[in-house]
Every structure is written in structure tokens, then in C-alpha cells.
């Protein structure tokens, strides 16, 4: 069972803490506001009121034993920075931090956060892609160059094998999974025949994915 510490119990922090707990993870929820701590107490493994800007508080809570720490504070830039620095000093294996701007994101990355997210921006990007490209069912930005998309199989691909389509050589993309209803085929081989109704999980550079949609 994985263990998480979620620091900051605003809407984002509360939601992710409760979701992780629902997924059978051990969750320690921490916030300086005792009222927020009391509200989440029944929905996580343990909820504690404390100032995570104080490294001694985090040390006493044993956060260094957690598999992952989530810094869900973004509105207070200095607190976000101090807490991330504390977690890094305590050698927490994996740190996820919420940022409020690209500059904030770059600072947290420089401090050693393993993953930095801007939820509002990322959700806006996903919605925009879905609205502009109706075949896209979901979109996740992986880096400045690569993204992961779920997309309905193009009509021209139906009844053709992945090997015959030669998508990696021709388009520079990789099909990492295929979904059809409740069936999921992870890492389909070259002999897989694309069926009507298939949803392809594709990874590739933005230009390659854009080229795919023009076909």
C-alpha cells in the first residue's frame, strides 16, 4: 500500500487526499487550519493540524517515510517554496507540487519537485483540445514536446494492422494501448487489427499528432 502526505487542504488538496484514500492508499492530511483538518478527518487515514513551513513539524509527523508528498498550496508562493524545500531536505522520495503560474512552476522544479502541476491551466488545455479536435477524447501534456491523447481510430485505419499502418515510421507516433468498450489491450503488437469503435492511446510529438488529425 502506498503512503501519501497531502499538505494544504483547499479544494484541490482535499479532493486529491480523499481520492487517494478511496483508492486504498494511506493518506496523511496536513493543514495549518484546524477546521479544515476536522472536516477531512473521517475521509483520510490521519489528519493533523500543523505548520508545514517548519521542518521540525514535518519531521515529527514522519513525512520522510511517505512514498510521495503533495504540496497542494499555490496561492501562498513563499509557503509553497518553503514546504517543498523542507520535503526535499527530508529526502521524501517523490514530491508533487501545485503551482499558480509558469514562473512558480519553474521555481518549484529548480527546488527539486519531481512533478509540478498547474491544474487550471492543464484542465483548460485539455478542454480546448477536445473542443477544437472532436476526435480527441482526452489530452495530457507530458512535456513541452510530447503529449498523450486518447483518440477515436481514424476510419482509414479500420481493418488494418498496426504493422501495415507503420505509424511509428510514417508518423513518428506510438500506439501504447487500445480500448474498445471494457476491453483494454496494453502495448498492442504489430499484428493487432484496428476495429471499428477502437479508442487509441497515442503518444507523440505535437506536430506528429497534428499531422495525424489532418489525414
> How would you write the chain as a 3-class SS string?
CCEEEEECCCHHHHHHHHHHHHCCCEEEEEECCHHHHHHHHHHCCEEEECCCCCHHHHHHHCHHHCCEEEECCCCCHHHHHHHHHHHHHCCCCCEEEECCCHHHHHHHHHCCCCEEECHHHHHHHHHHHHHHCCCEEEEEECCCCEEEEEEECCHHHCCCEHHHHCHHHHHCEEEEEEEECCEEEECCCCCCECCCCCEEEEEEEHHHHHHHHCC
The per-residue pLDDT for 140 is 60
Query: Is the pLDDT assigned to residue 137 strictly greater than 90?
Result: no
The backbone torsions φ and ψ at residue 114, rounded to the nearest 5 degrees and listed phi first, read -75, -30
Domains and CATH numbers, the chain: 3-117 (3.40.50.720), 122-213 (3.30.70.1450)
Query: Is the pLDDT assigned to residue 152 strictly greater than 90?
Result: no
pLDDT > 90 in the chain, percent: 50
Considering only residues 199 and 56, tell me which one the structure prediction assigns the higher pLDDT. Answer: 56
Query: Is the pLDDT assigned to residue 145 strictly greater than 80?
Result: no
The per-residue pLDDT for 125 is 56
The backbone torsions φ and ψ at residue 177, rounded to the nearest 5 degrees and listed phi first, read -165, 160
Considering only residues 42 and 142, tell me which one the structure prediction assigns the higher pLDDT. Answer: 42
Strand partners, 180: 183
Query: Is the pLDDT assigned to residue 112 strictly greater than 70?
Result: yes
* Residue 100: pLDDT band with limits 50, 70, 90: confident
Q: Do residues 78 and 40 make contact, with C-beta atoms less than 8 angstroms apart?
A: no
Residue 36 Cα distances to 57, 99, 146, angstroms: 18, 21, 38
First and final CA of the chain: distance in angstroms? 45
Question: What pTM, to 2 d.p., does this model score?
Answer: 0.65
Query: Is the pLDDT assigned to residue 131 strictly greater than 80?
Result: no
The per-residue pLDDT for 123 is 56
Mapped to the 3 state alphabet, what secondary structure does 146-184 carry? EEEEEEECCHHHCCCEHHHHCHHHHHCEEEEEEEECCEE
| pLDDT average, residue stretch 178-188 | 87
What's the CA gap between 58 and 50, in Å, rounded?
8
Amino acid at each position: 500500500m502506498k503512503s501519501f502526505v497531502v499538505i494544504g487542504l483547499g479544494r484541490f488538496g482535499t479532493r486529491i487526499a480523499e481520492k487517494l484514500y478511496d483508492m486504498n492508499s494511506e493518506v496523511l492530511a496536513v493543514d495549518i487550519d484546524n477546521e479544515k483538518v476536522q472536516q477531512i478527518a473521517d475521509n483520510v487515514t490521519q489528519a493533523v493540524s500543523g505548520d508545514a513551513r517548519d521542518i521540525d513539524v514535518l519531521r515529527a509527523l514522519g513525512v520522510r517515510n511517505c512514498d510521495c508528498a503533495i504540496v497542494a498550496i499555490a496561492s501562498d508562493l513563499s509557503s509553497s517554496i518553503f514546504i517543498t524545500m523542507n520535503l526535499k531536505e527530508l529526502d521524501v522520495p517523490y514530491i508533487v507540487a501545485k503551482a499558480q503560474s509558469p514562473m512558480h512552476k519553474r521555481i518549484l522544479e529548480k527546488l527539486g519537485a519531481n512533478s509540478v502541476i498547474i491544474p487550471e491551466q492543464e484542465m483548460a488545455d485539455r478542454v480546448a483540445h477536445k473542443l477544437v479536435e472532436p476526435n480527441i477524447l482526452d489530452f495530457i501534456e507530458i512535456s513541452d514536446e510530447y503529449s498523450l491523447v486518447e483518440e477515436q481510430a481514424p476510419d482509414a485505419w479500420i481493418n488494418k494492422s498496426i504493422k501495415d499502418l507503420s505509424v511509428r515510421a510514417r508518423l513518428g507516433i506510438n500506439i501504447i494501448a487500445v480500448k474498445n468498450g471494457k476491453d483494454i489491450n496494453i502495448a498492442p503488437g504489430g499484428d493487432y487489427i484496428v476495429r471499428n469503435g477502437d479508442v487509441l492511446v497515442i503518444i507523440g510529438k505535437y506536430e506528429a499528432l497534428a499531422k495525424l488529425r489532418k489525414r
